[in-house]
Amino acid sequence: MMLENQSIICFAPDPWDSMWRNRHQIMSRLSRTNKILYIEPKMYAALEGLGLLWRSLIDKKLQKERLKCISANLWIYQHPYWGISSRYPVLKHLGFGLRMISLMRAIKKLQLKSPILWIVDPRFGSMIRYLQKSIVCYHVVDNYPEAPYFSKRTRADLGQAEKHMLSVADLVIVTSPFLLEEKSKYNDNVHLVRNAVDYERFSALKNVNGIPKDMEYVPKPVIGYIGAVNEKLDYELLDAAARARPEWSFVFVGGYSNRTGSPVSKFINEHPPNVFFLGRRDVKEIPHYVYACDICIMPYRKDDYTKAIDSLKLYEYFACEKPVVATDIPAVKEYSQLIYIAKDANDFIHKLQEAMISFTPSTRSLQRMIAEQNTWDKRVEQLSLLIQSALNKSNCPCNS
């Protein structure tokens, strides 16, 4: 069953054209039979004085919100540049009010009546009370209050925002057993829907020859990581492995922030010569990069953030039938018979060596079977049933 004839407004923490994550996969599929408005994160202007505020009020480029049509039922909304970043509450409230007026204008233009509000970033929760809606769905994809790539203040703000979201949501979707246990303490309608893979896209390239041009001259064997290069990775472990095995190439495909003083920055600026950063690639190109790797890795730190993740890339690695070496986090233990799990840096090096020589055809077959069972189409069908159930329980006229 696929949800049909609904309007959905998705408040997301990342742009549509960024590295694709679960919200992109879900909304692109729901748009086949429903009208979707995808709200990108707001931009901020550092406006500390009334002179700059006045300039923003009269500048047409800053005033104008942008609606972009991606397909027949999918629209992207970009806030106008009203995101006033200021220590003055009056300016903050003014910016919020102007953004709400702009958003409501876009909703009216697209004729979204009684939409489902799909919240991925809990900080958007402040907008809920001002919008007409059928139900509110809160999609929890990370342990936000423990995210290492946010400042301590931002994590605290996220914690407060999440408490609010859990108290008002009609439906809560989580991606891991840890999140299911934690969020069920604060809401009675919490459901586990794991991440998945676009299996058709990945499997279709299995027998296609050729590798991406920027990997043609990378010496083999290639140890590859495909995903966001941020603070969730264990850079001490990665540095130790790369220096211990200079004959191996460690390739990172994904966007990264070279923020001064961060572990990411240190590794990027001081990495050994057998480490390669290729940057973010379009979602359509990702399968090519996975297939170009000899071994795929999930080198996560072990902390309160990573114990809550359900790694999307694991399913993608399985779809490509690749040896996988991962650190010992909860998300991988279910598949301990299909991957190589390392306890520390030394064991990580050992498991990489083991994966090169002991990966079997039977393991490849089992990986492929797991990937076939965990597709985004199946996940969206599961979500559709949960959403329809929540709609049926609501008093929204859209169900009559």
CATH of the domain at 339: 3.40.50.2000
* Mean pLDDT lowest among 16-30, 37-51, 250-264, 302-316: 37-51
**What tokens were used for 230?**
């941020």
H or E element, residue 275: strand 275-279
For residues 40 and 79, the answer to whether their CB atoms sit within 8 Å is yes
Q: Show the domain range for 144.
A: 7-196+376-399
The H helix count followed by the E strand count for the chain is 15, 14
- Are 353 and 291 in the same domain? yes
252-272: pLDDT as tens digits? 999 887 676 788 889 999 999
- Are 341 and 362 in the same domain? yes
For residues 286 and 226, the answer to whether their CB atoms sit within 8 Å is yes
Average pLDDT over residues 60-86: 74
- Are 178 and 290 in the same domain? no
- What's the full length of the chain, in residues? 400
- Are 389 and 285 in the same domain? no
- Between 208 and 394, residue with greater pLDDT: 394
- Are 224 and 251 in the same domain? yes
Strand ranges across the sheet with 324-327: 275-279, 249-253, 222-226, 295-298, 324-327, 340-342
Q: Which of 77-81, 145-149, 281-285, 372-376 has the highest mean pLDDT?
A: 372-376
**What tokens were used for 313?**
């890339």
First and final C-alpha spacing in the chain: 19
- Are 171 and 295 in the same domain? no
pLDDT given for residue 56 in this prediction: 46
Per the structure, the count of domains in the chain is 2
Average pLDDT over residues 67-88: 79
Q: Give CA–CA dist 122/97, Å, rounded.
A: 18
pLDDT given for residue 53 in this prediction: 44
The answer to whether position 274 is within a domain reads yes
Average pLDDT over residues 290-298: 97
- Are 89 and 224 in the same domain? no
The answer to whether position 260 is within a domain reads yes
Does 40 have pLDDT greater than 70? yes
For the chain, helix, strand, coil in percent to 5 are 45, 20, 40
Average pLDDT over residues 166-170: 97
pLDDT given for residue 385 in this prediction: 98
Does 346 have pLDDT greater than 90? yes
Give the pLDDT band of residue 83 (cuts 50, 70, 90).
low
178-195: pLDDT as tens digits? 999 999 999 999 999 999
**Mean of per-residue pLDDT scores for the chain:** 89
Does 63 have pLDDT greater than 80? no
The answer to whether position 2 is within a domain reads no
Helix axes 235-244, 345-358, angle to 10 degrees: 60
* Mean pLDDT lowest among 136-150, 158-172, 187-201: 136-150
- Are 363 and 221 in the same domain? yes
Does 350 have pLDDT greater than 70? yes
Does 310 have pLDDT greater than 90? yes
- Are 389 and 369 in the same domain? no
The answer to whether position 1 is within a domain reads no
Does 44 have pLDDT greater than 60? no
pLDDT given for residue 24 in this prediction: 97
The answer to whether position 44 is within a domain reads yes
- How do beta strands 171-174 and 190-192 pair? parallel
pLDDT given for residue 397 in this prediction: 56
103-117: pLDDT as tens digits? 888 899 999 989 999
Does 81 have pLDDT greater than 70? no
Give the pLDDT band of residue 41 (cuts 50, 70, 90).
confident
Average pLDDT over residues 161-170: 95
What region, left, alpha or beta, does residue 111 occupy, with left being phi > 0 and alpha being psi -120 to 50 degrees? left
- Are 28 and 148 in the same domain? yes
- Are 164 and 203 in the same domain? no
For residues 235 and 263, the answer to whether their CB atoms sit within 8 Å is yes
- Are 92 and 48 in the same domain? yes
364-393: pLDDT as tens digits? 999 999 999 999 999 999 999 999 999 999
Tokens 């220590």 -> residue: 87
> Which ranges of the chain would DSSP assign to H, the alpha helix?
22-30, 50-58, 60-63, 89-109, 152-168, 177-183, 199-203, 235-244, 263-270, 286-291, 312-319, 330-333, 345-358, 361-373, 376-393
The answer to whether position 62 is within a domain reads yes
221 cis-preceded (ω within 30 degrees of 0) = yes
Give the pLDDT band of residue 87 (cuts 50, 70, 90).
low
